[in-house]
Amino acid sequence: MPKKFIKFTAACVLTAVVLYAGGLQQQPAAAAQQSTAAYEPLQQQAKRWVDELAVQSSFAKWKSSTLDISPIGPGTHSWLVLVKHNSQTVGYLIIHAVEAGGYQLGEYGVGSQPLFDGRTISRSIKQLELLKPADSVEALYVHPLLAAWKVTSGSSSDFADAASGEALPAQSKDWLKASETKLPTAERLQITGNATLLKQVTLPSFSTFDKMPWLTSQPLPISSKSYSSLFAKINNKEQLRYTAELFEGQMLYVWSVIGYNKWNSGHIYIGLETENSDERRYIPLLLLLELGSFYL
CA pseudo-torsion sign 92, 94, 97, 101: negative
pLDDT at residue 276, as a whole number: 76
* Mean pLDDT (whole number) for 208-224: 93
Instruction: Mean pLDDT check: name the lowest of 11-15, 166-170, 195-199, 238-242.
Output: 11-15
Choice among 49-58, 74-83, 215-224, 248-257 with the minimum mean pLDDT? 74-83
Residues forming a β-bridge with 169: none
Beta-bridge partner residues of 246: 251
Q: What residues does each domain of the chain span?
A: 195-295
pLDDT band at 69 (very low <50, low <70, confident <90, very high): very high
For residue 187, name the pLDDT band (cuts at 50, 70, 90): low
Q: Residue 26 — very low, low, confident or very high, per pLDDT cuts 50/70/90?
A: very low
pTM: 0.84
According to DSSP, the residues that pair with 223 across neighbouring strands are: 226
The pLDDT, as a whole number, for residue 20 is: 31
Q: Is the pLDDT of residue 270 over 60?
A: yes
**pLDDT confidence tier of residue 124, bands split at 50, 70 and 90:** confident
pLDDT at 27: 35
Nearest to 11 by CA among 95, 115, 149, 89: 115
CB contact burial 250-264 (16+ within 10 A = b; e otherwise): ebbbbbbbbbbbbbe
Residue 28 reports pLDDT greater than 60:
no
Q: Measuring CA to CA, which residue among 185, 183, 173, 199 is closest to residue 264? A: 199
% the chain with pLDDT above 70: 82
Predicted pLDDT of residue 174: 93
Predicted local confidence at residue 207, as pLDDT: 93
Mean pLDDT of 1-21: 36
Asked if residue 216 has pLDDT above 90, the reply is yes
Grade residue 177 by pLDDT with cuts at 50, 70 and 90.
very high
More confident residue, 237 or 157: 237
Q: What is the mean pLDDT of the chain?
A: 82
- The region of weakest confidence among 111-115, 125-129, 139-143, 154-158 is 125-129
Q: What is the pLDDT of residue 135?
A: 82
Contacts of 123 (CB under 8 A, 6+ apart): 165
What pLDDT shows up at residue 63? 94
CA distance 160 to 195: 34
Distance CA 174, CA 130 (A): 20
Most confident of 75-79, 222-226, 266-270: 266-270
